Chain A
Amino acid sequence: MNSALPLSQMPVGHKARVVTLMLDGFSRRRILDMGLIPGTVVEVLRRSPLGDPTAYRIRGSVIGLRKEEASRIIVENQ
């Protein structure tokens, strides 16, 4: 099953591959600068108690993203 969904909907513990970014301008730039380019594998590490933000492992480092940003990163299940 390789259906595309927003990164924010990936369950904790799962890995996903970035398909595309539905972002423009500086927010797009910022996500790209974190190494989140199409093809990058992201692991969902843990969610904060209120469900936002979520910690992800990206290229060996742990990065926290808010739901708002993560919902614009389209991934497919690994």
Chain B
Amino acid sequence: MGDVCHTCTACGITKARSLRTQYNVHKNSENDLVIALAGNPNVGKSTIFNTLTGLRQHTGNWPGKTVTQAQGNFQHRGRNFILVDLPGTYSLLSNSLDEEVARDFICFGQPDATIVVVDATCLARNLNLVLQVLEITPKAVLSVNLMDEAKSKGIHVDLDTLSRKLGVPVVGTTARTGAGLDELKEKVFQIAHGYEETKPISVVYDPEVDEVVQQLLPKVRPLLYGLNLNPYWVAMRLLDGDESFLQSLTRYTQRGELWQEGDMALCPQ
């Protein structure tokens, strides 16, 4: 029933559902929520993944890529969450295969929420990726991990101030012991359902850049109908001449390709 219309720009929800299947993410129930797990390499991302999902996980490859994909499930408040572990990256913009996979899933996999794991002992370096994720999606939760290591190094992270400045929930975690993971699950639950509103910090660009972006926006917006993607960010990628992103955008929004599935007859338009 849900996959009636893959093509129609008027029904984003069903379209998003079909996009997810391109990533081998299959829901068992309509109520399942899909959560992306992003972060720099070596921040304990996999420990968080393993602790949350336990043995309820399976691994494979990202479709068409020799990049490992791990998926697992966890339950919270009676709901099932499908956690998708993304490759560890410092950025989503430099064009390595790992970054492409991570970026594409956050952009086109339409996760209900994205967890960004950062290293409490070198926060500054990690915040680059955080800002990049927040530019794409407001549905994000920050997990400041390795809190125990930070503490033993005498580093104190002011989680409340960080949350206020970033405009998204911030949870301190120590994945090794499981500390903070219950709170993380609760925040993910809130954000994925839209119970808690976020207002992510917006990166301010130079006036001359902004001016050109404003000119592009009216043309970019219609392309993104049904995709939960920030048009400003997309316009910036086009200005960057980001070929890899353009290819992905074409692939995932390509009306022609999806039309082949022959569901147009059911489309209300």
Seen from chain A, the residues whose Cβ lies within 8 Å of a Cβ on chain B are 25-26, 29-30, 33-35, 59-61
Contacts and interface: CB of A to CB of B under 8 A. Distances in A.
B94 A26 contact: yes
A74 B39 CA distance: 29
A43 to B, nearest CB: 15
B133 to A, nearest CB: 13
Contact of A61 (B94, B95, B125, B241): B125
A33 B94 contact: yes
A59 B122 contact: yes
Contacts of B124: 35, 59
Given A33-B90, A34-B90, A26 B95 contact: yes
Contacts of A60: 121-122, 125
Interface residues of B, number: 11
A25 B243 CA distance: 11
B128 interface: yes
B114 interface: no
Interface in B67-124: 90-91, 93-95, 121-122, 124
Contacts of A30: 91, 94
Q: Which of B90, B94, B124: most chain A CB closer than 10 A? A: B94
Contacts of A25: 241
Given A33-B91, A60-B125, 12 more contacts: A25-B241, A26-B95, A29-B93, A29-B94, A33-B90, A33-B93, A59-B122, A59-B124, A59-B125, A60-B122, A61-B122, A61-B125
Contact of A33 (B121, B128, B241): B128
A35 B90 CA distance: 10
Nearest to B91: A33
Contacts of A35: 124-125, 128
